[in-house]
Amino acid sequence: MRVDLALAATFALVFAAALIELPAYRWQVALAPGLAAGIGLALAGLVGLAAIRRRHAAPEARWGTDDLRTLLWFALALGAVLLLGFALGGGLYVFAHSLAAHPRLARLPVAALCGAVVPLVVTQLFGRMLQIELYRGLLLGG
């Protein structure tokens, strides 16, 4: 996959979409975004053309299963926090990551210890000391 080209195309698409929306606004509201989107679209076009001219993508430009696995671990962290909150979801995520991430980082007791730190920090440091209540998760009442 040509990531450079995909990035330039994504930027160009966003700039074009912004330019299409601008006529609905008064000039004071549209001027600055119009300038940014107009200049950005021209530049993204230039970068995209340069990427097309380069026929062969460098090996590091190609995304593989490593990238996918890394992104999935991040998605898992996000999902756990969104569903179960920072204390429980975060703790479970750290436990799972410590136990299963590649390369394997810890055995069961160490992984459990690593995971247990999270709810402690969330409830004691953030909750009690700083009086900041962190998100409790969609499944646990937000």
Partner 1 sequence: MLGGLSALLADPAALAWLFIAIPVGMAFGAVPGLGGKIALIAVMPFIAGMDMLAGCVFLISLHAVVHTGAAAPTIMLGIPGTGPSTAVVADGHALARQGQGVRALSAAAIASGIGGLIGTLVLALIVPFALGLMQLVSYPEIFLLTLFGIGFSAVLSGDSMAKGLTVGAFGLLIAFIGIEPVYGTPRFTLGSDVLGDGIHLVTAVLALYAIPEMLIAGKGSAAAGAPTGTRRGRGAGQLAGGLADVVRHRWLTLRCSVMGALVGIIPGLGGDVAAWLCYGHAAQSSRTPERFGKGAVEGVIGPEAANNSKEGGALVPTLFLGIPGSSGMAILLVALVPLGISPGPGLVSANSELVWAMVWALALSNIVAAGALILLARPLNRIARLKSSMLVPYIYLLAMASVYISTTEWRSLLTLAVLSLLGYALLRRNWPRAPFVIGLILGAEAEEALIKSLSLWGPGFLFRPVSLLLIATLFLSLWQLSLRLKRGSKAAKRGRAHAG
Interface ranges with partner 1 (CB under 8 A): 3-4, 6-8, 10-11, 14-15, 18, 21, 25-26, 28-29, 31-33, 36-37, 39-40, 43-44, 46-47, 50, 60-61, 63, 66-67, 69-71, 73-75, 77-78, 81-82, 86, 90, 93-94, 97-98, 101-103, 105, 118, 122, 126, 130, 132, 134-135, 138, 142
Distances (CA, A) of 142 to 8, 84, 107, 124, 125: 38, 9, 32, 19, 19
Place of tokens 């980082």: 105
Nearer to partner 1, 32 or 109 (CB): 32
Q: Least distance to partner 1 from the beta carbon of 86, Å?
A: 6
Q: Least distance to partner 1 from the beta carbon of 109, Å?
A: 16
Q: Least distance to partner 1 from the beta carbon of 121, Å?
A: 9
As a whole number of angstroms, the distance between CA 19 and CA 80 comes to: 37
CA atoms within 13 A on the CB side of 6: 7
Angle at 30 between CA 25 and CA 36, to 5 degrees: 150
Nearer to partner 1, 78 or 108 (CB): 78
Q: Least distance to partner 1 from the beta carbon of 4, Å?
A: 6
Amino acid at 124: Q
Q: Least distance to partner 1 from the beta carbon of 56, Å?
A: 15
